[in-house]
Amino acid sequence: MGLYFKSLCSSSSGNSVVLWSDSTRIVIDCGFGSMKRCRAAFREHMSEPVEYQAVLLSHVHSDHISYYPLRALEEMGIPVFIHRDSLDLLREKHFNGYHFAGLNLQTFDKGAFSIGQFLIEPIKVMHHPWYPTFGFAIRYQSNHREYKVVTITDFCQWRNIVEHLADADFVFIESNHDLELLEMYYNPNSRFHMPNPETARLLCQARRQSVRPFETVMLGHISSQRNRASIALEETRRAFAEMELDLDFSLLAAPLREPSETVVIAE
Ligand SMILES: [Zn+2]
Ligand SMILES: [Zn+2]
Whether 233 shows a pLDDT value over 90: the answer reads: yes
Whether 241 shows a pLDDT value over 90: the answer reads: yes
The ranges assigned to domains in the chain are 3-261
Which numbered ligand comes closest to the C-alpha of 11?
1
| pLDDT bracket for residue 143 (50, 70, 90) | confident
| pLDDT bracket for residue 17 (50, 70, 90) | very high
Which numbered ligand comes closest to the C-alpha of 133?
2
Of 220, 134, 216, the C-alpha closest to 175 is: 220
Distance 111 CA to ligand 1 centre (A): 24
Superfamily for 3-261? Ribonuclease Z/Hydroxyacylglutathione hydrolase-like (3.60.15.10)
| pLDDT bracket for residue 238 (50, 70, 90) | very high
Distance 49 CA to ligand 2 centre (A): 31
- 0.85 surpassed by pTM: yes
Distance 61 CA to ligand 1 centre (A): 6
Distance 1 CA to ligand 1 centre (A): 32
Given a contact cutoff of 8 angstroms between Cβ atoms, the answer to whether 55 and 79 are in contact is yes
- Maximum C-alpha span of the chain: 55
Q: What is the Rg, in whole angstroms, of the alpha carbon atoms belonging to the chain? A: 18
Of 100, 164, 105, the C-alpha closest to 137 is: 164
CA distance 232 to 200: 8
Question: pLDDT for 44-66, tens place per residue?
Answer: 999 999 999 999 999 999 999 99
Given a contact cutoff of 8 angstroms between Cβ atoms, the answer to whether 60 and 86 are in contact is yes
Give ion ligand 1 contacts, CB < 5 A: 63, 154
CA distance 121 to 134: 10
